[in-house]
Structure 1
């Protein structure tokens, strides 16, 4: 038995090392597994559907499922097109001289205060001239060619990633359960029963976790969109959708959602007095305060504690460990990966105490 656990630890270590070294391939595989788990129910239903007395071919059902995802993404993108168009119009009509005049007053007041207390010694208007000079220097120093090159590199990387994920997901759905069967075939017969129990529990927990995440996103989108719409915030659905997706990033997601809402609200609003901006910020922060309280008190305990069956302190440590290893993607995938290893270890330890085969091997 001791030898078995040594082999298990070596296997886990090798698996983690492989995942770290080939991080791109690992991320593609994880995304494909998640996408396959989400599309499998729809694909199976379409595959069972009869047309002229014949089942729809599985490859056709997969392509229809892909089409549903593409249609959903196109529908979602329509929420962002008006906002992007609005920002382009604002930038094209940008009055730099008017902006300078608006900024000049608070800078002049600050400068006058510093001069009154003799904290600086300079001519009036020095701070604003320095500010204007730095802005012009930053704009003129912007390397547009390098920016275009980075955009092209990022676009090509995303395109390759999407193709890889789509390819892997297609065959995972086409050969339904082939990955699980191949993994189980590698397991020796004495540990087969325990391995099946482990796989079943991991699949159930991950399925519950994904369902919980979808429910969390829907709840956040609903609360944020209704709240922002009632308070008269423009592009309420767009802000709510961004907040729901950003909330996939633990801890940082709600801050990103609120920041995006504030930026959109301030950039698209028409304000006559400064108090109107303050009132707008208060309304947006109120909505996201309600969203955050609902998420922290109701949604996260329901998803993490109930579906993953882990202590909140465990989740906290695991998420920050994932952030240290792989940044934002590490934070998103930390809980599913931790669930797999946690359940595997617990099930094998339980099997060590319960299954007769371990006791027989330990006495030999």
Structure 2
């Protein structure tokens, strides 16, 4: 019994070390596993469809599934195209003097507040001059060549990652269940029954988690789109879609969605007075507050606590550990990766206590 746990601990340490060293490949593989799990029902359904008296070849079914994903992505991109076009038009018509004037007013009011209570010791108007000089210095230090090189490098990395994920996902779908069979073939017969039960439970929990995430995205999109449309915020569907996708990032996602909605509303709206500007902010914040309250009270407990059967505090610690390891990507994938290891350890521990084969080995 003790020897088995030592071997299991060594296996996990080696597995994590290899995953850490080959982090890019491990990330591609994890993303491919998730995409394969999402596309497998659609691929199987297309594969079962009869074409000229025979089943549709599986490779054609996979390509059609890819085409469905590309079409969905393109359709969602159409929601953002009018917004991007208007933002470019707004930026092209910006007047530098007008921007300085709009910034100077709130900065001057803030400076007067600080001077009134003697929190700073300087001449009136000096705070705005310091801010203006800082912006100019930042612009001078901005490395255009380095920025372009970074964009090119990022584009290349995204392209390579996309091709790698598409390649791995294709073979995971083509050889349906091959990965699971190969892993099970490496397991001794004594532990075969326990291993099958563990794989089944992991697949069930991850399936529940992914289904819950899909429900969460659709629910947040519907609520945000309805609320923003009611209060007549421009580009309500685009803002709602961004908020729903950003909400996949735990804790930081809701803030990103709210900030995006405010920026879009301010840049595309016209405000005749400060009262209209304040009223607009109140409307946007009220909608997102209602959406997040519903998400925190109803959706997240259902998705996280029930689907992966973990305590909320446990999830909180794991998410921030994922953020420490891999940033935003780590926050997104922390829960499913943790679920896999958690179930593996718990099931093997229960197996030693429940399965007769282990008790016999222990007595021998």
CA–CA distance in structure 2, aligned partners of residues 320 and 158 of structure 1: 25
User: 1:136 Cα shift?
Assistant: 2.5
CA–CA distance in structure 2, aligned partners of residues 296 and 197 of structure 1: 32
What corresponds to 1:135 in structure 2?
Answer: 135
CA–CA distance in structure 2, aligned partners of residues 287 and 88 of structure 1: 27
Q: Give yes or no for the alignment of 1:239 onto 2:239.
A: yes
SS in 2 for 1:234: coil
Q: Give yes or no for the alignment of 1:276 onto 2:270.
A: no
CA–CA distance in structure 2, aligned partners of residues 37 and 4 of structure 1: 31
Mark the CA change 1:116 to 1:185 in structure 2 (over 3 Å): closer, same or farther: closer
CA–CA distance in structure 2, aligned partners of residues 134 and 5 of structure 1: 59
What corresponds to 1:42 in structure 2?
Answer: 42
What corresponds to 2:359 in structure 1?
Answer: 359
What is the TM-score with the length of structure 1 in the denominator? 0.96
Of 157-166 and 95-104, the range deviating more from structure 2: 95-104
CA–CA distance in structure 2, aligned partners of residues 324 and 204 of structure 1: 28
CA–CA distance in structure 2, aligned partners of residues 297 and 133 of structure 1: 46
CA–CA distance in structure 1, aligned partners of residues 115 and 240 of structure 2: 46
Mark the CA change 1:322 to 1:109 in structure 2 (over 3 Å): closer, same or farther: closer
What corresponds to 2:250 in structure 1?
Answer: 250
SS in 2 for 1:161: helix
What corresponds to 2:267 in structure 1?
Answer: 267
Mark the CA change 1:121 to 1:305 in structure 2 (over 3 Å): closer, same or farther: closer
Of 106-115 and 89-98, the range deviating more from structure 2: 106-115
Residues paired across the two proteins, number: 363
User: 1:137 Cα shift?
Assistant: 2.5
User: 1:315 Cα shift?
Assistant: 1.0
SS in 2 for 1:176: coil
Mark the CA change 1:221 to 1:99 in structure 2 (over 3 Å): closer, same or farther: same
What corresponds to 1:189 in structure 2?
Answer: 189
CA RMSD of aligned residues (A): 1.5
CA–CA distance in structure 1, aligned partners of residues 355 and 273 of structure 2: 74
| Ranges in structure 1 where 5+ consecutive residues have no aligned partner | none
User: 1:283 Cα shift?
Assistant: 0.6
CA–CA distance in structure 2, aligned partners of residues 145 and 272 of structure 1: 41
Q: Deviations over 1:185-207 (max 9, x none)?
A: 00001000110000001001100
SS in 1 for 2:15: helix
User: 1:229 Cα shift?
Assistant: 0.5
Mark the CA change 1:110 to 1:363 in structure 2 (over 3 Å): closer, same or farther: closer
User: 1:129 Cα shift?
Assistant: 3.2
User: 1:77 Cα shift?
Assistant: 0.5
Q: Deviations over 1:151-205 (max 9, x none)?
A: 0010000000000000000000000000000000000010001100000010011
What corresponds to 1:23 in structure 2?
Answer: 23
SS in 1 for 2:310: coil
Of 309-318 and 239-248, the range deviating more from structure 2: 309-318
What corresponds to 2:97 in structure 1?
Answer: 97
CA–CA distance in structure 2, aligned partners of residues 131 and 312 of structure 1: 43
User: 1:130 Cα shift?
Assistant: 3.1
Of 194-203 and 341-350, the range deviating more from structure 2: 341-350
Of 209-218 and 325-334, the range deviating more from structure 2: 325-334
Mark the CA change 1:238 to 1:355 in structure 2 (over 3 Å): closer, same or farther: same
